[in-house]
Chains A and B, each alone.
Chain A
Amino acid sequence: MVMENVVEKENEMAQEGFEPRILGFFCHWCCYAAADSAGVSRYQYPPNVRVIRVMCTGRIDTRFILEAFKCGADGVFTGG
């Protein structure tokens, strides 16, 4: 799976000190836009979240979350 390849690469890239790998599911209309405007207004925030944009938070299934942890994510952040 593609996700597993990404995780492997990031393992190689991981340097000393623990940098968590967090998967973010962001709603296209709310949290994703908020993240976008945070970027535009140059707020600083940690770069640990990898984002998957969904058209609605209601699209997310229990399986997505379990799959993320199975692939080695340290956390899942769901933003509606």
Chain B
Amino acid sequence: MIVAETARQFLADCGVNPERMTLEWASAAEAPRFVELITGYVSSIKEKGPLGEAEGEADAETLKRRLAAAVKAAQARKPRTVLGNLAKKLHKDGDYSKEAIAKGVSAKILPALRAERIKEEMLMLLEESPMSLDELCSALSCEKEEVEKPLAQLQKKGVVEEKDGKFALAKK
């Protein structure tokens, strides 16, 4: 359930309607219930339309890039450690309510995943063409502070270079 909640919140963060991901239960003896669930779910997706066309979703190209960055972020060590720690904490508190999970995920896991995603997406954007800080902010649709921090880290590592107010990947 932590994983499902993480996926839902992270999808919303990436600009995908979180209702596209669902977690349901049907036991082996509950074929009618299963049919009901599947039918209901498929018709709800039909109403929403293809990926990227439901209300409030980003356009297809942005989504593709953003989700590719999101996959990389989900593999990164930091968010995974945070997820493990949250699972441990929930176990210790003995509180597995939906609210407790949602709160923990949005407070701990989501910021870690979002930071990773922004970093990965930034690298993808810069690979295509050099960009200024403002251009990066609008392409990533996030605040200046969120962009500046990972950008400074990447500059320190020598991955990104600044030239005439534009940022580009350093040549190897």
Q: Which of A's residues lie within 8 Å of B, judged by CB?
A: 18, 20, 22, 29-31, 33-35, 37-38, 41, 43-46, 48-49, 57, 60-63, 65-67, 69-70, 72-80
Do B22 and A76 touch (CB < 8 A)? yes
- Choose the segment among B67-75, B150-158, B160-168 that binds chain A (4+ C-beta atoms closer than 8 Å): B67-75
Choose one: A34, A46, A78; the contact of B22 (CB below 8 Å).
A78
Partner of B20, one of A46, A67, A69: A69
Q: How many A-B residue pairs have CB under 8 A?
A: 123
- By DSSP majority rule, is chain B's interface helix, strand, loop, or mixed? helix
A-B contact pairs, 21 of them (CB 8 A): A18-B46, A18-B49, A20-B45, A34-B34, A38-B35, A46-B42, A57-B23, A62-B10, A62-B74, A65-B21, A66-B7, A66-B10, A66-B11, A67-B71, A69-B16, A70-B64, A75-B45, A78-B4, A78-B21, A78-B23, A78-B24
- Residue with the greatest number of chain B CB neighbours at <10 A, chosen from A33, A34, A72: A34
- In Å, the complex CA distance between A38 and B29 comes to 9
On whether the beta carbons of A37 and B28 are closer than 8 Å, the reply is: yes
> By the criterion CB–CB under 8 Å, are A66 and B29 in contact?
no
The answer on a CB contact under 8 Å between A34 and B4 is no
Asked if B67 and A69 sit within 8 Å, CB to CB, the answer is yes
Taking chain A's interface residues, is the majority helix, strand, or loop, or is none over half, making it mixed? mixed
B10–A77 touching, CB < 8 Å: no
Query: Which of chain A's residues has its CB closest to B70's CB?
Result: A66
- Distance from A66 Cβ to chain B, minimum over Cβ atoms (Å): 5
> With an 8 A cutoff between CB atoms, is B129 at the interface?
no
B residues contacting A by CB (< 8 A) are 3-4, 6-7, 10-11, 16, 20-35, 37-39, 41-43, 45-46, 48-51, 63-64, 67-68, 70-71, 74-75, 83
Chain A nearest CB, measured from B146 CB (Å): 20
Q: Do the beta carbons of B7 and A62 come within 8 Å of each other? A: yes
Residues of A near B64 (CB, < 8 A) are 70
